[in-house]
Amino acid sequence: MTASRAPAEPTVREFEATVESVDGREVVLDETYFYPASGGQPADRGTLDGHLVDDVVERDGAVVHALDPDADAALAPGDEVTGLIDDAFRTYCARAHTASHVLYGAARRVADDLGYAGFDISETKVRVDLTTAEPLGDGDLIELERLANRAVWDSLPVSWATHSADEARDVDGIAFNTKTEEGAMSGGDAVRVVTVGEADDPWDVAACGGTHVANTSEIGPIAVLERSNPGEGVTRVEFAVGPTAIDELGAVHAAALDAATALDARVGELPDAVSRLRDEADRLEAELRDAREELLATRLREFPTADVGGARWAVGTVDDADPNELREPATAAVAADDLDALAAVGTGDAPFVVVAADGDAVDAGDAVGAVTDEFGGGGGGGPTFAQGGGLDADPEAVAAWLRER
């Protein structure tokens, strides 16, 4: 078995090794510091004797280095090779992986009945899936970010050690399940346990086979990006470290400053300023609604009246209105102007008709039914108010028909 030495010695970037076997472009070495993709952490990048390593996987107990398909590598068993690991990518993955442990430790302090449901590192962000008794809210995300960055600032040590499976499971508060075990089981009964913080008062303890930094201060800023719910009882938290985190924090700060400038307030005063703006918007919306209702009522009362079948009707057209807006002013106009009925035909791309009536001399539902029988469409309502839509006619023609029928 050829296990990767990367988890135990994550700072190694260059090493010498002997080729054990070659199968096409797949190479197995007698030892390697390349990390194979496992448990959510991607494989290392780098070269073997100058040939680009396209992928690294663990298969049948051996670490297999898949060389780039275009590589013209004439390697054979027994050859001595030099492995070079991409420093920037390994460093990013180690920081991101340790950051996921730090975030999980923060979640322990925020959420009740916390469980672990997996994680993944991409080039721009990291996701951690948590099981929680209650979904995490915006306030929880803010607290996660605050606590995680505080753990970074506190420069907590990060250590790892191998234990038996029984010993590992007995570690107080350890995150240990089928998802975290992947890569942590180093063969047989051994389990690798990563501890963030002092052993007697750890920030987080988990069974883990990934690469990590030696101190949380190496992580740098952590920026929580968003949350989602990919499954019942699961909250997915996505966050960034490194340049993406720096850019995200800068963008959030810039947006806050722009908003503060627009509202003539300090950043810290934004919640109060937004609250005042919302109250003002609500007030203006109410005033606009009242003014619109008054305008519609005025328009309806200016409709010409006509005697239709012995009943006094007011009939006309309205624009920039919908049927629901007309119900109250139309009903009020019938009562105030001593009408038996009022019909308003809406103009625009979708002509409609509303009828308000006293319910005695005129039945509004019957009147709308007569209109839709004549001009198509459909509708309905009761004796005192009804509406119909989908009329296939010019609104003025509908109004004229109502006056003359």
Q: pLDDT by residue (tens digit) across 298-355?
A: 889 889 998 988 899 999 999 888 888 888 889 988 888 788 999 999 987 889 999 9
pLDDT tens readout for residues 334-350: 888 788 999 999 987 88
Q: Where do the domains of the chain lie?
A: 14-85, 91-262, 296-404
pLDDT of residue 104: 94
Q: What pLDDT, on the 0 to 100 scale, is given for residue 319?
A: 87
Q: Which residues contact 141 (CB under 8 A, 6 or more apart)?
A: 224, 227, 237
What distance in Å separates the CA atoms of residue 361 and residue 381, rounded to the nearest whole number? 16
The string of pLDDT tens digits covering residues 111-140 is 888 888 889 999 999 999 999 888 888 999
Determine the angle formed by the axes of helices 270-301 and 243-262, rounding to 10 degrees. 50
pLDDT higher than threshold 80 for residue 83: yes
- Burial annotation 189-218 (CB, 10 A radius, 16+ → b, else e): eebbbbbbbeeeebbbbbbbbbbbbebbeb
CATH number of 91-262: 3.30.980.10
> In which band, very low, low, confident or very high, does the pLDDT at 184 lie, cut at 50, 70 and 90?
low
Structurally, at CATH architecture level, domain 14-85 sits in: Beta Barrel (2.40)
Predicted confidence (pLDDT) at residue 109 exceeds the cutoff of 70: yes
Give residue 183's pLDDT: 53
DSSP summary character for residue 324: H
Residue 102: pLDDT band with limits 50, 70, 90: very high
Architecture of the domain made up of 296-404: Roll (3.10)
**pLDDT confidence of residue 117:** 86
Per the model's pLDDT, the better-predicted residue between 70 and 380 turns out to be 380
pTM of the complete model beyond 0.75 = no
